[in-house]
């Protein structure tokens, strides 16, 4: 029996060392702007971290290094004090994994490959401790299940979104999307004031709105919010607005009081976006049409 326990402890050391190497690799790749995980869930989870995704990586690295170090010190003779510390760390870590898995399953409803891999490492380590006779890990797996279920039972609160204050037009863009660059250039040429916002900073917000493509222009009026996705839709909107303003200036019409705001400061005319000919009635291009890129797509 003692030989079996030592064998499990050796495997535990190997697995925790591999997990440490895995997390360390992600940290190094992250410093170069790359990642092991390329799924949307990884980006959404990283954005939800209060102190950034690196803080979570460092916590994971510290946990696995501590487990590896303690298991190394626990050889060749198992020491009761180290055994209790190992069990305590794993119970807490499994509870944390229950939270992360519940967050993926019931909050953002998508897969994070990195998170699932870490979960796999933790389950293997906990199972090894159980097989070596450490019954405390039953509490760890029970806590994991309870936290996971609680995530399902408790409805999520709304996630606060800090959009640029006092900006009527907000453009969500990606630096790798050629259509975004074209829209930005056109806006600059027409001298239209627009807040440029990198899409990676608002992935969760846009995902909840059902928006998965860029460029996306948000018309942020006090009483109406409109999202226009794709270069073609944005061009139609800007063309309709420009025509409306030009027509108003030529006819010297008095600005009508509506729930709208000027196209840009000092334009001298207001526009009604719901009364723009051909804007809302024109067919909306599909995601496969030219003029759109996926949020994480390099479109050149």
Q: What is the DSSP string of 171-228?
A: EEE-TTBHHHHHHHHHHHHTT---EEEEGGGGHHHHHHTT--EE-EEEEE-SS-EEEE
- Determine if the pTM surpasses 0.75: no
| pLDDT confidence tier of residue 271, bands split at 50, 70 and 90 | very low
Distance of CA 264 to the CA centre of its chain: 32
219 forms beta bridges with 169, 226
Task: Check: CB of residue 129 under 8 Å from CB of residue 13.
Answer: no
Encoded tokens for 241: 């607005």
| Strand order from edge to edge, sheet including 225-229 | 195-198, 169-173, 216-220, 225-229
Delineate the domains of the chain, giving CATH numbers in brackets.
2-153 (1.20.1440.130), 169-294 (3.40.30.10)
pLDDT tens per residue, range 124-168: 999 999 999 899 999 999 999 999 999 889 866 655 667 776 888
The per-residue pLDDT for range 17-65, each reduced to its tens digit, is 999 999 999 999 988 888 888 777 787 777 777 787 888 999 999 999 9
pLDDT in tens, 167-202: 888 898 888 888 888 899 888 888 888 888 888 778
Q: What is the pLDDT of residue 272?
A: 42
Question: How many whole angstroms separate alpha carbon 148 and alpha carbon 143?
Answer: 8
The reported pLDDT for the residue numbered 244 is 58
- Mind listing the pLDDT tens digit for each residue in 31-43? 888 888 877 778 7
Tell me 170's DSSP state. E
pLDDT per position as a tens digit, 205-226: 787 777 888 899 988 887 778 8
């Amino acid at each position: 029996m003692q030989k079996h326990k030592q064998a499990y402890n050796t495997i535990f050391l190997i697995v925790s060392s591999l997990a440490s190497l895995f997390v360390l690799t992600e940290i190094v790749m992250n410093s170069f702007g790359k990642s092991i995980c390329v799924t949307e869930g990884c980006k959404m989870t990283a954005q939800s971290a209060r102190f950034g995704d690196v803080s979570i990586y460092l916590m994971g690295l510290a946990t696995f290094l501590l487990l590896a170090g303690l298991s190394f010190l626990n050889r060749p003779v198992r020491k009761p004090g180290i055994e209790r510390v190992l069990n305590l760390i794993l119970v807490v870590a499994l509870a944390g994994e229950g939270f992360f898995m519940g967050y993926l399953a019931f909050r953002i409803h998508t897969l994070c490959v990195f998170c699932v891999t870490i979960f796999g490492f933790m389950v293997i380590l906990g199972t090894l401790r159980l097989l070596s006779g450490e019954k405390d890990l039953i509490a760890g797996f029970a806590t994991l299940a309870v936290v996971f279920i609680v995530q399902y039972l408790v409805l999520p609160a709304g996630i606060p979104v800090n959009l640029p204050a006092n900006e009527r037009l907000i453009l969500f863009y990606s630096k790798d999307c050629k259509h975004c660059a074209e829209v930005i250039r056109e806006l600059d040429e027409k001298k239209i004031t627009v807040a440029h916002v990198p899409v990676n900073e608002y992935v969760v917000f846009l995902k909840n709105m059902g928006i998965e493509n860029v460029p996306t222009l948000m018309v942020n009026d006090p009483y109406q919010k409109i999202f226009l996705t794709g270069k073609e839709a944005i061009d139609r909107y800007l063309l309709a607005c420009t025509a409306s303003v030009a027509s108003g200036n030529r006819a010297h019409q008095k600005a009508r009081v509506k729930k709208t705001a000027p196209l840009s400061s000092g334009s001298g005319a207001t526009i009604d976006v719901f009364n723009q000919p051909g804007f809302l009635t024109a067919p909306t291009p599909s995601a496969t049409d030219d003029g759109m890129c996926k949020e994480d797509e390099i479109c050149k």
